[in-house]
Amino acid sequence: MRAKEFFTHPLGIAVSAAGATFLWGSAFPFIKLSYRSLDIRPEEIGEQMLFAGYRFLLAGLLILVLFMLNREMKFKPETAGPLLKIGFFQTFLQYVLFYIGLSYSTGIQGSIIAGTTSFFQILLAHFLYPDDRMNRLKVAGLMIGFTGVVFANWPNGEYEIHFGIGEILLMLAMLSGAYGNILAKNGSATMEVIYLTSYQMILGSLGLVAIGVFSVGFVPFEFDLISLLMLVYLAFLSAAGFILWNNVMKYNQVGKVSLYLFLVPVFGVILSSVLLDEMLHYLVIAGLIFVVAGIVLVNRPARKTAKNSLPSK
């Protein structure tokens, strides 16, 4: 009950959703640093799949080990079907499409297209939940937020947007992730979020590992302490980010929280400038302001309704 109160409070939603997107945004520079350290090249899809598989497998196992002492984490056979479906869309298919798509696209376009997850989630919610329909404020918030994502990624020197197979695969990856988030929200009605997050990651990662092993074997990497610590951090941010985000999704309307996902590419640009010594352009700050404005716009009516007509849940 205390969890529900925290994750439905406006401050709790903001802290949790922004925290999850900050963690996911930090994945951009740390993946680049890991690739440099392990000499994983852009065209080496098999190595990328295996690295991603190790990352999400370790993330699921971290959650399992950390929480098994104070709660029931033993696998329940009756949950296998829903968990396989969530793991397929939220972990396996999303990242297969993402990595292959990114190899045919640019980092800028990949970051901008990453913002479409919010569009897909709100659109899916419109058709799946009668109390979460699209309205003019949501559309306006989406437009403002997406403008912020474009601003944040525009200063990197490429001013032309091309749309080919890479961009199609990236959009399909975002659609898969959005649908996976919806499935996780539905699954959290009967499964604890910690349990759901752990096992969907483990099951989804096995497919990524299988592709990688088939392509390049079990251990094509030469880990040193730095690259190993970066892998552990990437696993941690995935575990913590999905626990926070799945709890936010569990207790709130999809349309109310989806715009926070626009923060992922914005945080990615900001953190890349810090960790990779990339130039931070003033348009990034403008982009962040636009994203926050979109979030505030979409959340205003929900807070008004709760304040003026209904008691808070």
**pLDDT tens-place values along the chain, 313 residues long:** 588 899 999 999 999 999 999 999 898 889 889 999 999 988 899 999 999 999 999 999 999 998 987 778 899 999 999 999 999 999 999 999 988 887 776 666 666 777 788 889 988 998 999 888 888 888 888 889 888 887 776 655 555 555 678 878 888 999 999 999 999 999 999 999 999 999 999 999 999 999 999 999 988 999 999 999 999 999 999 999 999 999 999 999 998 898 899 888 888 888 888 888 877 777 778 888 888 888 888 876 544 444 444 443 3
Q: Tell me whether residue 169 is in a domain.
A: yes
> Among positive and negative, which fits the CA dihedral 104, 105, 111, 113?
negative
Among 103, 121, 73, smallest CA distance to 262 is for 121
Q: Tell me whether residue 262 is in a domain.
A: yes
pLDDT of residue 242: 95
Q: Tell me whether residue 313 is in a domain.
A: no
**What is the rounded distance in angstroms from the CA atom of residue 127 to the CA atom of residue 45?**
35
Q: Tell me whether residue 41 is in a domain.
A: yes
Q: Tell me whether residue 131 is in a domain.
A: yes
> Among positive and negative, which fits the CA dihedral 289, 293, 294, 299?
positive
Residue found by looking up tokens 């989806």 in the block: 258
- Report the domain count for the chain: 1
Q: Tell me whether residue 135 is in a domain.
A: yes
Among 71, 94, 42, 303, smallest CA distance to 196 is for 71
> pTM of the predicted model, to two decimals?
0.86
Helix (H) or strand (E) run with residue 296 in it? helix 282-308
pLDDT of residue 313: 39
Q: How many CA atoms lie within 13 A of 86 on its CB side?
A: 25
At residue 208's C-alpha, the angle toward residues 243 and 274, to 5°, is 60
**What is the rounded distance in angstroms from the CA atom of residue 73 to the CA atom of residue 145?**
38
At 221, is the secondary structure helix, strand, or coil? Answer: coil
Q: Tell me whether residue 268 is in a domain.
A: yes
**What is the rounded distance in angstroms from the CA atom of residue 231 to the CA atom of residue 129?**
37
pLDDT of residue 206: 96
pLDDT of residue 12: 94
**What is the rounded distance in angstroms from the CA atom of residue 223 to the CA atom of residue 150?**
36
CB 71 within 8 A of CB 220: no
pLDDT of residue 302: 45
Q: Tell me whether residue 253 is in a domain.
A: yes
Residue 66, C-beta contacts closer than 8 angstroms, at least 6 positions apart:
none
Strands (E), 80-236: none
Write out the residue range of the structural domain in which residue 36 sits: 2-308
